[in-house]
Amino acid sequence: MADRPEPRTYISTHTSDAIYIRDKSLVDELIGELSFTEMAYFQIMGERPTAAQRRILDAAMVGLMEHGLTPSVVATRMVYMSCPEALQSAVAAGLCAVGSVFVGTMEGCARLLDDIVAAPDSAARARQIATEYRAEKKRLPGFGHNLHKPDDPRTPRFLEVAKREDIPGRHIAALQLLGEAVDEVYGRHITINATGGIAAILREIDIPWDVMRGIAVIARAAGLVGHIREERAYPAGMRIWEAAEESIPYAGEAPFNE
């Protein structure tokens, strides 16, 4: 494979008296100088974010951190109650649930927005996408919410926070075009949900669609640590376990090979 890049790393090196991350001195240029969010952007993207980019990433990560007793949280609490000596395993188990069902819609929406932004006629492309998804009865990523109706309250907030910053604005515009096309094509208002809003604002700060899952993982890790601390103070795992058992009745021998 002649054209596969040689293994190398651009991330970190060290000497006996210094540590460098992305060629900056950890001690002299990073600790005490960057916020966590700036450092995360720098680590992942290879360049320091602008203040606008940092504020938008902060908003997205604040919005991604906590969603109540989600499947992730349930997994984390189950593992924590079984293995309190390894907090990190409990977080890891919960993070395994940050998969296609949850963040896949963010990724899918980001790809649609890229597609609309790249099209010569963005409005036409948005209508075309809405028409296709409707015809094929596919779930449109970034749209619809089973609880928050008529509108997911987070989405306008994400867009408002981003719009007050100096950003290109093309992905936000693409999302709004798509939203209008959807309402028209489907003949009714369908909310842009939080994953749609986050997809748009993360694309505005250059986060590619295939890194977005990583952003969700980082934010979720903090959410899960909060639940572990609460589980320690107010153990709920046992009750969740009982509730799980009670909710799924035993039905005898399987009627046929599933």
Footprint (CB under 8 A) of a second copy, residues 96-155? 96-103, 147-149, 151, 153-154
Query: Burial of 143 by CB count in 10 Å (0-12 exposed, 13-18 middle, 19+ buried)?
Result: buried
Specify the residue, 87 or 119, whose C-beta has the smaller distance to a second copy: 87
Is residue 257 involved in binding a second copy (CB under 8 A)?
yes
Among 49, 53, 79, 125, binds a second copy (CB under 8 A): 79
Specify the residue, 36 or 124, whose C-beta has the smaller distance to a second copy: 36
Residues 184-243 that bind a second copy (CB under 8 A): 206, 210-211, 213-215, 217-219, 221-223, 225-230, 232-243
Distance from chain centroid for Cα 31? 26
Is residue 254 involved in binding a second copy (CB under 8 A)?
yes
Is residue 166 involved in binding a second copy (CB under 8 A)?
no
Is residue 72 involved in binding a second copy (CB under 8 A)?
yes
Among 49, 53, 74, 209, binds a second copy (CB under 8 A): 74
Angle at 189 between CA 185 and CA 195, to 5 degrees: 100
Q: Closest separation between CB of residue 118 and a second copy, Å?
A: 18
Q: Closest separation between CB of residue 166 and a second copy, Å?
A: 15
Least Cα distance to 103 among 218, 197, 212, 179 occurs for 212
Q: Closest separation between CB of residue 108 and a second copy, Å?
A: 14
Is residue 170 involved in binding a second copy (CB under 8 A)?
no
Tokens of 77: 């609490």
Among 2, 68, 135, 188, binds a second copy (CB under 8 A): 68
Q: Closest separation between CB of residue 121 and a second copy, Å?
A: 28
Least Cα distance to 145 among 62, 67, 226 occurs for 67
Q: Are 207 and 215 in contact (CB under 8 A)?
A: yes
Residues 21-50 that bind a second copy (CB under 8 A): 21-23, 26-28, 30-32, 34-37, 39-40, 43-47
Tokens of 253: 């021998």
Cα dihedral across residues 120, 163, 139, 114: positive or negative = positive
Q: Closest separation between CB of residue 17 and a second copy, Å?
A: 5
In terms of DSSP bridges, do strands 12-14 and 19-21 run parallel, antiparallel, or are they unpaired? antiparallel
Q: Closest separation between CB of residue 180 and a second copy, Å?
A: 22
How many CA within 13 A on the CB side of residue 227?
29
How many residues of this chain interact with a second copy, rule: CB under 8 A? 130
Alpha-carbon distances, residue 115 vs 31, 108, 128, 129, 156 (angstroms): 39, 11, 11, 10, 22
